[in-house]
Amino acid sequence: MSKKLLDHRYDFVMLFDVENGNPNGDPDAGNSPRVDAETGFGYVTDVCLKRKIRNYVDLYMEDCEQDAERKNACGILIKPDKPLNRKFTDAHEALQETKADTKDIDPQVQARAYMCSHYFDVRTFGAVMATGGKEISCGIVRGPVQINFARSLSPVNVEDVTITRIVRTKEEKEKEKEQYAQMGKKSIIPYGLYRAEGYVSASLAQKTGMTEDDLALLWDAIINMFEHDHSAARGKMCMRKLYVFEHESILGNCPSHILFDKISVVQKSDMPPRQFTDYEITIDTAMPSGVKLEEKI
């Protein structure tokens, strides 16, 4: 297990698609797929993408063979197991049980370090851990890994598909002679290719304790985050491409937007796209000095 902290900055581009599904429902719009009202382009929030990464890491640590130390270091803070304030309290109680003489160190600083060392999503995405009052506060962590909203490469067409259910929910319906069916609907996108961009700050990673092992797990989670998230509502979702730009220096050798522009994705024809091959990907391989590009998938 590598405990080496990151000393290179990274930028990355994800391309994923959805077929006959809802990649990210909007609860304010009847859980319909999120769409930019002005342009018709679909989008997926950063919160949705981070949730899938968290879920994969949690599943990976549970089901795969890992040493106890690694599992203990890769917990997930943001998940529906127990209240956050209980976890913050546990951190303070665990610190009080240690034999190390840390009386001169601010308890909140100790608690923040404890959370970073025990939770993968805290040292990668950061967290606000001051919800339970000063006594159990674990401070605020600015995460080195940030992801933008994903946006579709073409306008998407949201279709409402009517569905029926013949199973009765109320006993009184059993007395009806005719077959009883309830009507419903599900909102889908026939096809959409989405692009999301992200950043990994090595300078912030050194403050949170994010290691090279954590980075490798992040890439693995991004590549596989749809593989264990299938459902009838989301349809067929696939991570198609993951491009990673690695800088030689800790602060980076080039602005991220210049690197993102190196990857161009355009629709081949005017027909509505219905598959990944309806797009053409062009990569400008002439990288700025000190930057190299790796295609992970």
pLDDT tens-digit map of 187-224: 999 999 999 999 999 999 999 999 999 999 999 999 99
Q: In the predicted model, what is the mean pLDDT of the chain? A: 90
Rounded CA separation 57/189 (Å): 28
pLDDT of res. 1? 55
Exposed, middle or buried by CB within 10 Å (0-12, 13-18, 19+), for 68? exposed
Burial 145-168 (b: 16+ CB within 10 A, else e): bbbbbbbbbbebebeeeeeeeeee
- Helix 107-118 / helix 84-97 crossing angle, nearest 10 deg: 110
Concatenating the DSSP letter of every residue in the chain gives: ---PBP-S-EEEEEEEEEEEE-SSEEGGGTTEEPB-TTT-EEEE-HHHHHHHHHHHHHHHHHHS---HHHHHH-B-SSSTTS-HHHHHHHHHHHHHH--S--TTS-HHHHHHHHHHHHBHHHHHHEEEE-SS-TTT--EEEE-SEEEPPEEEEEE---EEEEEEE-S-SSGGGGG-SS---EEEEEEEEEEEEEEEEEEE-HHHHHHHT-BHHHHHHHHHHHHHTTTT---TTT-EEEEEEEEEEEESSSS-SS-HHHHHTTEEEEESSSSPP-SGGGEEEEE---PPTTEEEEE--
On the CB side of 182, CA atoms within 13 Å amount to: 8
Q: What is the pTM of this model?
A: 0.90
Q: CA 291, 292, 296, 297 torsion: positive or negative?
A: positive
pLDDT exceeds 80 at position 27: yes
For residue 100, pLDDT over 60 is answered with: no
Q: What is the mean pLDDT of residues 90-109?
A: 77
Q: Is the pLDDT of residue 178 over 60?
A: no
Task: Summarize pLDDT for 210-262 with one digit per residue, the tens.
Answer: 999 999 999 999 999 999 999 988 999 999 999 999 999 999 999 999 999 99
Q: pLDDT band for position 176 (50/70/90)?
A: low
The residue that leads in pLDDT, 4 or 174, is 4
